[in-house]
Structure 1
Amino acid sequence: MLHRYIAGFILIIWETFINQSAKINLGIFYTLTGDFAKAMVVIDEQWLMVYVAIYMFGIWDGYRQTVDMNKQYILADREDVSLQPMAMGAWDINFLDKRKPWVALLWSVLFPGLGHLYIHKVIVGFFIFAYTVVILYFGHLPQAIHLTMIGDFDTAKEVLHMQWAMYLPSIYFFIHYDAYVGAIDYNVLFEKEMKKFLRKNYQNKNFKFPF
């Protein structure tokens, strides 16, 4: 949400690596199901301590950056600087346009990442798309859903890899929220730029017609 893509991608990949090494998701799963003994066995304490440091840094840095960027936004908004309404390059074309937030939300519900592509957050959209595909593949979620739909619950529980499957709840609803809020924010930018353009270019009310 802070548009610090490189730092965000690195932290997500690093968190996944630490989580896989420490088996934190399995520990959470067994704890929620009441099997505390198995939770203590599967978790690697050495990697867990590294995870705590990264987790706390992510919370602190996110809060700090949000406060600083809010201050920068107030200063930038008072300057009333014009935005670049269109950017055209060899790889893509990007332009300010109004988007429907409910459409971004709907596409994100159907598959994470599609809502971000709709609001033209291409890099973030493809990263989320690829990250979700990896989780679904290694967690065997599509296969488990299929087996559940045909009533084979025992096999569904056997094929489901909870260490990977537990990643999805932590990102699924945030992705919906981020796509929805992103569409609203782009609409706000579009309206501000449109108002600014009309103030500068709309015909003066005192203009005298030549007839």
Structure 2
Amino acid sequence: MTITQIHAKNPWITAFFSFSFPGFGNFLLHRYAKAFVLTAWEVFVNTHARVNLGIMYSLQGQFEKAKQVLAIEWLLLYVAIYVYGIWDGYRSSVDINKLYLLAEREDAPIKPYTMNAWGYNYLDKREPIMAAVWSFLMPGLGHIYLHKVIAGFFIFAGTIGLVYLSHLPHSLYYTCTGEFAAAKSVLNMQWTLYLPSIYIFIAYDSYVSAVEYNKLHDKEMVQFLRRSYQRPGFEMPV
């Protein structure tokens, strides 16, 4: 159902995406169970605490209105999980980088093909730009293109729900017809403010995943050629 791998990552990038949206750091690390839980918790608690509305009013300089709109009883539940997501993303990246170095030195085997009753999956070359473009047009499609089926459908379904609740299609319609006041008034900003983080992360993750899958494909090919055709006593000239 997917291609899971470990590769070297900058822990600060993982922490940054965990900061922008709890759970995204674990998506980068291919730890999907934890990513789904943290992402669902972020949407649930953020919506009840009305954090996005507080952020919007704060950016507009309406600090009193921001304080009034926040639900303190939910906000206090939000903080611990939010900080944990950032800490766990950084810590996990450091540990996975160590595992990656061990796998490199031990020349760990790579499985290039699998097939079962659900279908088949195999390593091949993918276009990183194409993955990013599909993700930008509709989050989830880039991951499905990369055969990250479970993550792709989770992102796809989640984005459809957020777009529907934010009334973004209505706003785009009014914008195209020149009714800008109606376009602003129809938007539900609590739900709309989820979308920028999602679009930026999904495009980045699909692009990086395609690049790393291509490296994994080349590495598997090198392993096959060396084990099948290289003499055991061959010494590399460099």
May I ask how many residue pairs the two structures share in their alignment?
204
- Cα distance in 1, alignment partners of residues 193 and 119 from structure 2: 35
Question: Which shifted more, 73-82 or 133-142?
Answer: 73-82
CA distance in 1, matches of 2:230, 2:110: 21
**Equivalent AA in structure 1 for residue 186 of structure 2:** V
Residue 130, structure 1, aligned to residue 157, structure 2: yes
Aligned ranges for residues 26-175 of structure 1 at < 5 Å? 26-175=53-202
How far 1:92 sits from its partner (Å)? 2.4
Partner of 1:187: 214
Task: Find the residue that maps to 2:61 and give its secondary structure.
Answer: coil
For the residues of structure 2 that align with 1:31 and 1:151, how far apart are their CA atoms?
28
Write out per-residue CA displacement over residues 6-33 of structure 1, whole angstroms, 9 at most, x where no aligned residue. Answer: 1110110011110011000011111112
CA apart distance, 1:62: 0.6
CA RMSD of aligned residues (A): 1.1
Q: Tell me, what secondary structure is at the counterpart of 2:144?
A: helix
Letter in 2 for 1:166: L
Partner of 2:9: none
Counterpart pick for 2:42 among 7, 15, 19: 15
- Residue type matched to 1:6 in 2? A
Q: CA deviation at 1:167?
A: 0.4
**Number of the residue aligned with 1:25:** 52
Structure (1 or 2) with the larger CA radius of gyration? 1
In structure 1, the gaps of 5 or more residues are: 205-211
> SS of the residue aligned with 1:93?
strand
Q: With structure 1 as the length reference, what TM-score do the two structures score?
A: 0.94
- Distance in 2, Cα, partners of 1:9 & 1:123: 10
Give the 3-state SS of the residue equivalent to 1:71 in structure 2: helix
2:110 partner SS: coil
Identical counterparts, % of pairs: 56
Partner-residue secondary structure (3-state), 1:87 = strand
Output the amino acid matched with 1:10.
V
Partner of 2:225: 198
In 2, the alpha carbon distance for the partners of 1:35 and 1:23 equals 15
Aligned partner of residue 177 in structure 1, secondary structure: helix
Residue identity matched to 1:69: I
Corresponding residue of 2:6: none
Q: Secondary structure at the match of 1:81?
A: coil
